[in-house]
Structure 1
Amino acid sequence: MSRLSFASFPVLTVQVGSVALGVSLLLSGCQGGSSPSSAPTETGSTTAAPTPDTSSPGSPAVTSGTTAPSGVYKPADAKGKAQNVPVPVMPELAKENTKEGLEAFIRYWYAQLSYVDETGDMSSWLPLISRDCRLCVRLQESGEDGYSNGRWLVGGKISVPVVEVQWGADSVKAVKVQVIQDQIDYFNPDGSVGRTRSEASNDAFALFASFAEGQWIVVDLAVIA
């Protein structure tokens, strides 16, 4: 899959407050090259592997890190859910109100989305979003649907090869993010197909975050058209 070129994307192509719901995204299963529309879509998933920063040749490598639960990690397959999934750990850098801190936070944020997909556990991800972020709420709803009635997800590994932070004086910081996600399959407890497959994707996103009460919060998210 070809990598997107971010040089030609103005970060404010999508303004704060606008949400593109006509594309399959992250937990909703990003579908590459889609145009925004007002209708939400069903899809979704990711994995918990942290991704190093490759946004520029001189950038330091930043990962979220994980803690391993007892037992051997087993990814989900057609026969059952993932087991003993490594838990993403927020790096200390991600707690800083700096450009580097925001980048580390974003990579952790996507690692948490991966963990949600593999486990259905949103307890660490939900505190990282504003309820005013409509697309974030859609991601929550899609994640919950992915595990409804005993259903689970297979595949959907996500990587974030490019993160470009637009650091300025405004309290809300704008970031351009490239998100690549593998194919996702859905299964019911009886082994039947639980939902239509989500194809692999490669998309550009505008993410907006603010720092309050000692932590970063995602306040809006949208596809860059």
Structure 2
Amino acid sequence: MTSRTCISERLRLPVISAVAVSVLALSGCSGGGDPQAGPTATAVGSPAQSASGAATATPSATPTPKPTPAYKPADAKGRAQNVPVPILPKTAERETKAGLVAFAKYWYTTLNFAYETGNFGPLDKVTAPTCALCQKVRPGILEWNSKGRWISGGLVKANGAFTEFVKSSTGEYQVSTQLEQSAGALHKADASIEKSVPGSQVLADIMIVRFVDGRWKAVNVDRLGA
């Protein structure tokens, strides 16, 4: 099976399960001026005199922060722009039931980030190298985020995550996820569509996870009922 075929198949399922799943400085100056030229200019931030002669403080200007570029999802005209880097919730940093559920949902945001950008950095940080099935989707995602090509849609939303939070003898937990995936398409550099696939509203995965060195790692992700 070619990498192109592999990613095409992933668009109709959550990716892993389809195979087994981001100043201004103001300066002022005061002049010494000729006494006959009028009152001396007051520097920004320096005391100024009121009508009664008392000194009053002049507030300094506050630097204006640059606006964050707006996120624009991929569409038929081009790839996604200014995709926000997923942020791990604080809850997902703890080895608790709530932490595991939060992590499972977060994992899919890193998967979506890879789809939209071709950047596997966030996903790799939370996925163990032993996840062979996870690695199978990498070539296809990289292919369709290179040479002017892009992926639109096909993003996965984790509507729910459920776990008994029972640790196995090998130190692993299981969590099942209820998913929804939008319709997607693979676009060539000339904007033509290689393949389009309708969305799926009811999908379910099972994730095997370990808490290693103070963080969760997805060991494997597989499709329930496949």
TM bucket, shorter chain: 0.5 to 0.7
The residue that corresponds to 1:199 in the other structure is 198
Separation in 2, partners of 1:27, 1:85:
24
Give the aligned length. 170
TM-score (norm 2): 0.67
Structure 2: which amino acid aligns with 1:196? Answer: K
The residue that corresponds to 1:190 in the other structure is 190
Separation in 1, partners of 2:78, 2:150:
8
CA drift at 1:181: 0.3
> Once the two structures are superposed, what CA deviation does each residue of 1:2-27 show, in whole Å capped at 9, x if it has no partner?
xxxxxxxxxxxxxxxxxxxxxx8999
Structure 2: which amino acid aligns with 1:161? Answer: N
TM-score (norm 1): 0.68
Pairs within 5 Å for 1:146-157: 146-157=144-155
The residue that corresponds to 1:221 in the other structure is 221
Q: Residue 141 of structure 2 aligns to a residue in which SS?
A: helix
Separation in 2, partners of 1:176, 1:148:
33
Q: 1:129 to 1:26 in 2, by over 3 A?
A: farther
Aligned residues of 2:92 and 2:103 also touching (Cα < 8 A): yes
The residue that corresponds to 1:105 in the other structure is 103
Aligned residues of 1:28 and 1:142 also touching (Cα < 8 A): no
Query: Which of 123, 126, 132 matches 2:124?
Result: 126
Separation in 2, partners of 1:88, 1:182:
19
Structure 2: which amino acid aligns with 1:118? Answer: E
Q: Residue 208 of structure 1 aligns to a residue in which SS?
A: strand
Q: 1:152 to 1:91 in 2, by over 3 A?
A: same
Highest CA radius of gyration, 1 or 2?
2
Pairs within 5 Å for 1:54-203: 70-170=68-168, 171-193=171-193, 195-201=194-200, 202-203=202-203
Pairs within 5 Å for 1:24-63: 28-31=10-13
Q: Residue 150 of structure 1 aligns to a residue in which SS?
A: coil
Q: 1:26 to 1:197 in 2, by over 3 A?
A: closer
CA drift at 1:197: 1.4
Q: Residue 114 of structure 2 aligns to a residue in which SS?
A: helix
Q: Which runs of 5+ in 1 are unaligned?
A: 1-23, 45-68
The residue that corresponds to 1:209 in the other structure is 209
Aligned residues of 1:25 and 1:31 also touching (Cα < 8 A): no
